[in-house]
Amino acid sequence: MHLKNLTGILLVLALTASAQTSKPTQPAKAPQAKATTKTAQANWKAVHESAIVIDTHADTTGRFIDENFDPGKDAGKGQWDLAKAKQGNLGAEFFSVWIDPEKFKDHYPQRTLKMIDSIYQTVTKHPDEMVMAFSTRDIYAARRGPHKRIAALIGIEGGHAIENDMGLLRDYYRLGARYMTLTWANSNEFAQSSGDTKKDEKGKLIDPGMTEHGRLIVREMNRLGMMVDISHVSDRTFYNALTASRAPVIASHSGARAITDVPRNMNDDMLIALARNGGVAQVNFYCRFISNDYNKAADKFVQDHPEDVKKFREMQDAYNAGKIDMTEFQAYETKMENNVPRPPLSALIDHIDHIAKVAGVDHVGIGSDFDGLSCLPQGIDSVADLPKITQALMERGYSAADMRKILGGNLLRVFAEVEKVSQKMQHETNPDKRQEVALPPSPKDR
């Protein structure tokens, strides 16, 4: 649990601003209804245990580096450790490398490299339970045989980490990054973020989308074999990315805007476009993104308790300035969170179900955001509770085959296609028009 959401549940009001939810231009084929039998319900445990369960977004990396957290020990107030991951039959985790754009301004590469190193060091400490993975083959290998290990992968969260430099993008790929979220809540030099709520003089949201250089970055990600992640991006950037990419894209941790009306989620037209692209939407577990009722209650608390909000902001500033440690800040954040009831598990299941019906069951998965959020739905307290999602979906009529897709098969399919596109592009004879990064002058030339 860290400050990735900046002001936590109380201060993400910009993300709950009213967003227009358009109707789909062409409804996708919904999964066929299946009879829910007692046998099917009884089998959900076996189904979950037989699946390769992949979570595409956990911010436990922040704990590795800032708290010297060892996942071999109990997570405490955290949401991810090895024992809990085994309980949840987690097969692969994409550990997020998120760089606070304010706190680490002018030091993005240094922080990125340190976070990547913390993942490697953590895996090195636990060779019997974890293994670094860089491909679909590596994930399958980690889950093969009697002694299964958790495949550890890397995702860069926020394109600001590359500082508009394709050389850094390539370096991060060489170090193991297998997806990059084009933006975080902040816009960067090449793409607009959904968290950027600037408006023109007429009150219209300013959304320039992606630059031409951004399109080249997407193509270079295709060439490398790095998945393009459209979580956090603005609507126009989303469509620009789909147009630019030659491979399917992912939303590593996003929900359905038709269910919860926040800009971070995708509307139905976007879900249909994602399906046509062959991509997959991995559903985020954050209370703010899965429940309108929760957002209304949280916003009312903010309005009714201005002094508490003021203190929260002061503590956040103190943490960012290094005057208090994360434990002290999180204790206060948790106290504030407890003032608003958590949404039911059904709120999360509704998002998965909706995306399966609109985009198709081949285009939905799970992207928890564990350890990067401060509020989870009831019944989901950690990675150990992932089987409850399988149970709830099978009770709604989803089959074993459907569940194996949702739990990880869909992500593996997209990842494999990204790898195929990469191999094809690397063997093309077209002139290489990638941006070349000029080297600094040598000492003798200065």
Contact between 90 and 53 under an 8 Å Cβ cutoff? The reply is: yes
**For position 445, what pLDDT does the model report?**
44
**pTM reported for the whole predicted model:** 0.88
**For position 360, what pLDDT does the model report?**
98
Q: Is 162 left (phi over 0), alpha (psi -120 to 50) or beta?
A: alpha
**For position 5, what pLDDT does the model report?**
52
State the chain's mean pLDDT as an integer: 89
Residues paired with residue 233 on neighbouring β-strands, in sequence order: 193
Closest CA to 90 of 60, 63, 126, 129: 129
Residue that has been written with the tokens 């149970």 in this structure? 391
Residues 6+ apart with CB under 8 A from 217: 159, 162, 166, 169, 182, 190
**Count of CA atoms in the C-beta half-sphere (13 A) of 264:** 28
**For position 428, what pLDDT does the model report?**
84
Closest CA to 284 of 321, 257, 324, 320: 257
**For position 85, what pLDDT does the model report?**
98
**For position 329, what pLDDT does the model report?**
76
CATH topology of domain 43-292+344-425: TIM Barrel (3.20.20)
**For position 92, what pLDDT does the model report?**
99
**For position 197, what pLDDT does the model report?**
81
How far apart are the C-alpha atoms of 446 and 438, rounded to whole Å?
15
Tokens of 161: 């980490």
**For position 309, what pLDDT does the model report?**
82
Classify residue 250 by its DSSP letter: E
Domain range list for the chain: 43-292+344-425
Q: Is 294 left (phi over 0), alpha (psi -120 to 50) or beta?
A: alpha
User: Which residues of the chain, if any, have pLDDT below 50?
Assistant: 1-2, 6-30, 33-35, 436-439, 442-446
**For position 368, what pLDDT does the model report?**
98
DSSP string, 255-301: -BTTTS--TTSB-HHHHHHHHHHT-EEEEP--HHHH-HHHHHHHHHH
How wide is the angle at C-alpha 150 spanned by C-alphas 406 and 356, nearest 5°? 5
Tokens of 144: 């093969």
**For position 87, what pLDDT does the model report?**
98
